[in-house]
Structure 1
């Protein structure tokens, strides 16, 4: 059987009713995996040009005269911001290290102080992001998602839906899609869901029919791999806590006077997201069909794995109850009980600690959460400084002015499409968000678009473009790494599927948000 029964970890129970923890080396990381030393470290020549180009670009922008209406302080922050974004793309060092250097440069150059100025506590300062509640929301969500993986609940959910819908290959793709959708609200790492949970099960399904990278890939694996990537991008768009960049979007939108709560984000996304989850896999099935259409053995495989897992452990039961509690509080807690999304996430982590699903060692060992906090906080600080220093409004006005007399509807469509397809130039969703989101949102608002509608549409499209290329971010690199698809196959199919997805978000999404009063 392609899935090793030992991986189910269901044969024995600890006294508390949880499965014994896997050996440390077998526990999949919740967030993006840190490359190994051999993979990450580059030669000195490559390191010098990767770090040198951003420094040269920043140094070139710094002394230039700032345009009319832009202060020198804003221009200098732009120079540091552009250099930091380019370094994130070129990756001479991990993202956290790159942003830390950018923050240091901003402090040493006097562009921002390290701590809040006593004479103006509202002014931007280097450490301001670390006190931002939205950033703590995503950190807590990373910790919660560790419970899904540690208890095995995430894998059980995926196998369950495959066992229900897996008689046909298209049904397998829908089963994986529903499983991803169920886990998305509480697992903010696209890589953990798509690459750590869904991709191994997808690969096991393919191997049931001896579909492996190479000559037999088109039997099943090629179709399923692209579908897992496309679905992951859609589910990331459906919840504020489904992708690490979404809370950054909410924070940047707030700087434009737009409040995006967990419930608002989910309400706006539910209908277009469900439509996309139905339509996109079917489109991929039409333009890139698997050779095998009937897959009865997959149902037997999934049911056999579920039998080996046995009944829910106490850890899985606590994780399930915590997940339901989180969904309830995220949906109505702010409106009814006055409990915001971040407080809800902290409650979830506390329950998992008290229920012994997570240990304090699990908390402090979750490197992805703390790494995300660092780069997230620093990029938030830089974006805030650019906005408060007046540069974002100048860029937004410039973009809006270039569109002449266009009404806000065609202008918003153009902005969304440019924002979507420009992701071919980015290898990081975070870099793209930081560089373009707030300026495009500002331009849309200036042109008369309803602020919340524009903010949500650009946010949803941010997630949709993460499946465009094999380096686009999210789960794409991990899924492409299964080697079922060539670069040409991935780009060709994803270009069509991506266009379908973004059309659904624009057309169905706009209509739905207008209907429910979000426009």
Structure 2
């Protein structure tokens, strides 16, 4: 009896602490929301602007503190925006659900299922293990090289990360018995490879104008400001800091987000044995391979032949359905895809609405005013740091480029920063921010939906990864651009 009483007391104490922690989280979310909600409306901002800022900030804090699952928090934030009239139900609240990039993410989940259900993903994973499988770090570099090779010709970084790299990462994790079902299992390998692939994707996206959809927009905004950026100029300026980052980032992530499997010396021989047992490729595998190659061609040549990346992805899904590689039952069971659709659509809609209400422009103007009179290097450092970390308020790289690039470039040039240098640096940042949060970009949404990385881990590790990128692209990149005359 004393033992039973003691156990009940401990359980009661744990429950009480959990309730207090939950109450504190909810109180913090409500406090942030209400403080911003009732702030005076600045000049030039729509009367609903601060209301939207408050609800958006509260939703973001909810995603960080996780009093409820991610999709649930997003739905509650959307409900608050609708019931208060901050977002019109018919024309504004659901606009994010029509975003093509979000549906590309969803389609990428189903394409990844095709790799796994047919066994092609496992076969590809075993090939990678046979070649690079002596360590988790080697596998990570293999993924980085894959992303780099595809990036110059793949304008959709979501297609690259979600349709190409993610299925291989998931298969590699599964081969090494790493699944998102428990902390012990996911931390074996899957969590490390997943989060590292996002950070690598931000780097490869920054290296070429054609590696991310927002980059051509930045080039256009720069041209409007009188700064001409060619494909070759961008690639040359990004070459050295990009390569250094690709070398450093997997190693850094292995230290900051260490997998429990670090050495796998027997893996290559084991993988070769498994490949021999698999035998010839099945009809399903061939169908998946042909579909995959078709998708790569459509994604790479989409801009030339006029095929949208999302349309290409759905063509791929349709082929898999017609050939019965996938069934609707398989798709309906993919809870990660549907959860991602909900929370990402809500956040993209909210971020777009903030821009429409003038909140983002107001923030940019305030920042520009703060650096007036400072030496240009100091002013530019402040501007770039703000431009980098304001992405916590965005659910899309492209959305931030559209909303803020021109404002910050104008402010930077006004302080005396070399125009081409400022335009390129801000262009690079527009990609490097894509891993800050699990909602920061399309690739982040794909990886977060896999379940391998917890929200708290994402925010912590990715912040330190962002510091590494800032140091490399500022010191190495700045020095390199000075040497090749971009500071002139």
TM-score (structure 1 length as normaliser): 0.63
Partner of residue 202, structure 2: 237
Pairing 1:220-235 to 2, within 5 Å after superposition: 228=193, 231-235=196-200
Distance 1:191 1:371 in 2: 21
1:58 aligns to 2:33 (yes or no):
yes
Partner of residue 171, structure 2: 197
1:160 aligns to 2:127 (yes or no):
yes
1:379–1:49 CA distance, 2 compared to 1 (3 A): same
Cα distance, 1:349 vs. partner?
A: 0.9
1:188 aligns to 2:162 (yes or no):
yes
1:338–1:304 CA distance, 2 compared to 1 (3 A): same
In proportion to residue count, which structure has more helix?
2
1:89–1:190 CA distance, 2 compared to 1 (3 A): farther
Cα distance, 1:456 vs. partner?
A: 4.7
**Equivalent position to 1:114, from 89, 96, 119:** 89
1:445 aligns to 2:405 (yes or no):
no
Partner of residue 428, structure 2: 457
Cα distance, 1:330 vs. partner?
A: 1.4
1:190–1:431 CA distance, 2 compared to 1 (3 A): farther
Cα distance, 1:92 vs. partner?
A: 1.2
1:180–1:374 CA distance, 2 compared to 1 (3 A): same
Cα distance, 1:72 vs. partner?
A: 2.3
Partner of residue 349, structure 1: 317
Cα distance, 1:231 vs. partner?
A: 3.8
Partner of residue 283, structure 2: 314
Distance 1:370 1:465 in 2: 22
1:49–1:284 CA distance, 2 compared to 1 (3 A): closer
**Number of matched pairs:** 416
Pairing 1:175-324 to 2, within 5 Å after superposition: 175=142, 177-178=144-145, 185=159, 188=162, 196-201=170-175, 228=193, 231-237=196-202, 276-281=245-250, 297-324=266-293
Distance 2:345 2:95 in 1: 7
Cα distance, 1:164 vs. partner?
A: 2.1
Distance 2:54 2:76 in 1: 14
Distance 2:479 2:341 in 1: 32
Cα distance, 1:323 vs. partner?
A: 1.8
Distance 2:119 2:43 in 1: 58
Cα distance, 1:357 vs. partner?
A: 1.5
Measured against aligned partners, the alpha-carbon deviations of 1:412-432 in whole angstroms (never above 9, x if no partner) come to: 655555666799xx8xx9779
Measured against aligned partners, the alpha-carbon deviations of 1:67-105 in whole angstroms (never above 9, x if no partner) come to: 333332111111211111111111111222112111211
Structure 1 unaligned runs (5+)?
1-41, 117-124, 205-212, 214-220, 241-245, 259-263, 482-486
1:67 aligns to 2:42 (yes or no):
yes
RMSD over aligned Cα atoms: 5.0
Measured against aligned partners, the alpha-carbon deviations of 1:465-519 in whole angstroms (never above 9, x if no partner) come to: 569xxxx9957997789xxxxx9xx97x995x7655445556559989xx9xxxx
Partner of residue 333, structure 2: 365
Pairing 1:31-42 to 2, within 5 Å after superposition: none
1:454–1:351 CA distance, 2 compared to 1 (3 A): farther
Distance 2:435 2:48 in 1: 35
Distance 1:139 1:384 in 2: 20
Measured against aligned partners, the alpha-carbon deviations of 1:52-71 in whole angstroms (never above 9, x if no partner) come to: 32123222332332233333
Cα distance, 1:350 vs. partner?
A: 0.9
